């Protein structure tokens, strides 16, 4: 047999190890976007459709205020494209995988909406500055309504206001300085207030997500070793079995048991025994890929799930793990060894059968003298 990989098993974020992180540092994660969609964007979807319809209704004043036939056609085409873009964005909103993809799409729509607004303003025959200022304020309100990277939102807002005021000062012939100043203040103050409101909402949203993630990690993490617990293994293990079966890829599970943890506890005390468990988990992680899962199954038992590896490839990995545990003394000079059983996935395998088979082979390794790896019946 030869080793078969789903993807490169180079080092990276270890999915077999539970990690508590600050969501402000990883807003691009799929977990954050799923949270955002469930708590905010799902309701915003209806607003997107309403805005798409409202955008088409704006064709009525456009047609009335545009004198050039060419301008009427161009504005009509632009508004149709904008509404179609909104509807398409609504249809893919649930399928977007991370926050960056969402942010780029919503920023593109916002920038295009600003362009349509300014293009229409440039071609109106006699635009009223205060009415257009109200339109600009409404547009900025919509921009701040949708979660986005702060630099994207601020950049679009700043550029929109500058272009609006610049175009208005040149395009509107009878614009008085008093009216221009009043409209400018309305627009800028509205933008600042919207920014403060949006920023406060964003901070609350991120803090809430951080708390939810922390609670989730506490419920799925072994408190001592920071590896997955049984419930998380069952959740992710069944998922990987399904994926590997669908794509006809191998999957291997290893059951590792420290051979002399009880004697370590009796000789050195449970504090030293706990340190051995913590360091064992750390050494196991050292040799795993980013899709591999390590779970503390019991007192001195660990389950290692390796999607994409057949038995030969898994033996190579666990041999390195065993050598690391047996050849490198633990803190305080403690020496230990481990027995490991390995089970391959077949078409009838479930997580329970894989664990059972690997567990039986681990006991067989102990019966043969411990500090061994068994992967055949």
Length of the chain: 377
Q: What is the C-alpha separation between 97 and 210, in angstroms, rounded?
A: 19
Give 24's DSSP letter: G
Q: Which 8-state DSSP code applies to residue 301?
A: E
What pLDDT does residue 9 have? 47
Rounded Cα distance, 251 and 354, in Å = 10
Pairing of strands 373-374, 338-344: parallel
The predicted pLDDT at position 27 comes to 52
pLDDT in tens, the chain (377 residues): 333 333 334 444 444 444 433 333 335 567 777 778 787 788 888 899 999 999 999 999 999 999 999 999 999 999 999 999 999 999 998 888 888 888 899 999 999 999 999 999 999 988 999 999 999 999 999 999 998 888 899 999 999 999 999 999 988 888 899 999 999 999 999 999 999 988 887 788 778 777 777 777 777 788 899 999 988 898 889 999 999 999 899 999 999 999 988 899 888 898 999 999 999 999 999 999 888 999 999 889 999 999 998 888 999 999 999 999 998 888 888 889 999 999 999 988 999 999 999 999 999 999 999 999 998 75
Which residues, other chains included, contact 137 with Cβ-Cβ below 8 Å and sequence gap of 6+? 186, 187, 190, 191
Alpha-carbon distance of 199 to 307, in angstroms, equals 41
| Strand positions, DSSP E, the chain | 251-258, 293-296, 301-307, 338-344, 373-374
Q: By the 8 A CB rule, do 250 and 349 touch?
A: no
Question: Cβ atoms within 10 A of the Cβ of 225, count?
Answer: 23
Which residues of 301-368 form beta strands (DSSP E)?
Answer: 301-307, 338-344
Place of tokens 């003394």: 329
Q: Quote the CA–CA distance of 95 and 228 in Å, as a whole number.
A: 28
Question: Order of strands across the sheet with 338-344?
Answer: 293-296, 301-307, 251-258, 338-344, 373-374
The topology under which CATH files domain 230-374 is: Alpha-Beta Plaits (3.30.70)
Q: Quick check: pTM over 0.75?
A: no
| Angstrom distance (rounded) from CA 99 to CA 140 | 21
Instruction: Check residue 373 and give its pLDDT.
Output: 92
C-alpha–C-alpha distance, residues 119 and 124, integer Å: 9
Distances (CA, A) of 293 to 59, 131, 262, 302: 56, 60, 25, 10
* Cα–Cα distance list, 80 to 66, 74, 76, 370 (Å): 17, 10, 6, 73
User: What pLDDT was estimated at residue 28?
Assistant: 57
What are the extents of the domains in the chain?
23-218, 230-374
């Amino acid at each position: 047999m030869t080793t078969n990989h789903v993807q490169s098993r180079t080092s990276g974020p270890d999915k077999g190890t539970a990690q508590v992180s600050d969501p402000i540092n990883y807003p691009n994660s799929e977990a954050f976007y799923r949270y955002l969609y469930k708590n905010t964007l799902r309701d915003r979807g209806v607003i997107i459709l309403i805005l798409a319809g409202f955008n088409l209704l704006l064709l009525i004043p456009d047609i009335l205020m545009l004198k050039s036939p060419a301008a009427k056609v161009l504005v009509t085409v632009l508004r149709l494209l904008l509404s179609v873009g909104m509807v398409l964005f609504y249809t893919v909103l649930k399928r977007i995988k991370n926050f960056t993809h969402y942010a780029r799409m919503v920023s593109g729509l916002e920038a295009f909406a600003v362009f349509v607004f300014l293009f229409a303003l440039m071609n109106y025959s006699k635009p009223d500055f205060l009415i257009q200022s109200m339109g600009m304020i409404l547009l900025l309100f919509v921009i701040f309504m949708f979660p986005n990277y702060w630099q994207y939102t601020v950049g679009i807002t700043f550029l929109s206001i500058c272009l609006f005021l610049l175009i208005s000062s040149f395009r509107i012939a009878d614009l008085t300085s008093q009216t221009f100043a009043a409209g400018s203040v309305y627009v800028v103050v509205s933008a600042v207030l919207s920014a403060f409101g949006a920023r406060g909402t964003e901070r609350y949203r991120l803090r809430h997500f951080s708390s939810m993630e922390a609670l989730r990690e506490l419920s799925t993490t072994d408190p001592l070793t920071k590896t997955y617990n049984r419930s998380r293994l069952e959740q992710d293990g069944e998922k990987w079995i399904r994926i590997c079966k669908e794509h006809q890829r191998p999957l291997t599970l290893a059951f590792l048991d420290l051979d002399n943890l009880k004697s370590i506890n009796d000789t050195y005390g449970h504090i030293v025994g706990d340190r051995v468990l913590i360091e064992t988990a750390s050494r196991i992680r050292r040799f795993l890929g980013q899709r591999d899962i390590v779970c503390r199954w019991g007192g001195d038992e660990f389950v290692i799930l390796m999607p994409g590896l057949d038995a030969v490839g898994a033996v190579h990995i666990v041999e390195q793990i065993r050598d690391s545990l047996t050849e490198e003394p633990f803190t305080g000079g403690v020496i230990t060894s481990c027995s490991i059983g390995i089970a391959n996935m077949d078409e009838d395998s479930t997580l329970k059968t894989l664990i059972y088979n690997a567990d039986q082979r681990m006991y067989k390794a102990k019966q043969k003298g411990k500090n061994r790896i068994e992967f055949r019946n």
